[in-house]
Amino acid sequence: MRTARAAHFRRWRNMSSVSMAKNRFNQSWLHDHINDPYVKMARREGYRARAAYKLKEIDEQDKLIKPGMVIVDLGSTPGSWSQYARNKLTQSAKRDAQREGGIDGKIIALDILPMETIADVTFIQGDFREDDVLAKLDEIVGEQQIDLVISDMAPNLSGVASADAARIEHLCDLALEFAQNHLKPEGALLVKCLRGSGYSQIVEKFKHQFKVVAPRKPKASRDKSSETFILGRRLKHPG
């Protein structure tokens, strides 16, 4: 009986320790989030998430988004990357005296989750691996070609490093496959990934598929985070 009670107490103590650790983590995250300058800036400038500034910094460094582009945003919800792309193409439309409103280009956002409407952005809800979703995409793109694919997709993290690495690698593989099949030869793909187990394999896959590959760690990406981005340009073997 004593042995059973002792074992029960140890289990309770371990569960309690885990619960307290999670609570401390949540409190720390909430404190960082509330005081985050990018969160405050996003609220001020109308972006749905601070992630917009990650794309903004990479775009300013690499000149990704240009007038007239066809851009596909994979895993777009809540929509901050599409918002930034839309704002960038709106600026170029304003510089065109002959254009009345709208954007100078085309943005198609895809996600299995719903997304609130963004002006001038076409949203397709569904899995971009499914034929009916791809048919809708092809109809919208028409005779044009896709210039840029952006993906801020991330899995629900479990906290188990090996499992999380496998999940993020899978999402990167899906984005790479999509780009291979839909991107124009001189196009570009930007994806989010995590540094750690599996990262070098993702980079190698990019190098196999693209002529130019560059890792990016924007300032808006928290220092504590293993999050990073990989940019690939110019397909080696266009689909």
Q: Are 156 and 112 spatial neighbours (Cβ–Cβ below 8 Å)?
A: no
**For residue 220, which of 152, 150, 149 has the smallest C-alpha distance?**
152
Annotated binding residue at 59? no
Q: Is 223 annotated as a binding residue?
A: no
Whether 75 has a binding-site annotation, put simply, is no
Q: Which of 184, 192, 205, 224 is catalytic?
A: 192
d(CA 138, CA 35): 43
- 152 is known to lie in a ligand binding site: yes
Tell me: is residue 29 an annotated ligand-binding position. Answer: no
192 in catalytic set: yes
Residue positions in the annotated binding site? Answer: 79, 81, 111, 127, 152
Residue positions in the annotated binding site for S-adenosyl-L-methionine? Answer: 79, 81, 111, 127, 152
Task: Just list the catalytic residues.
Answer: 192
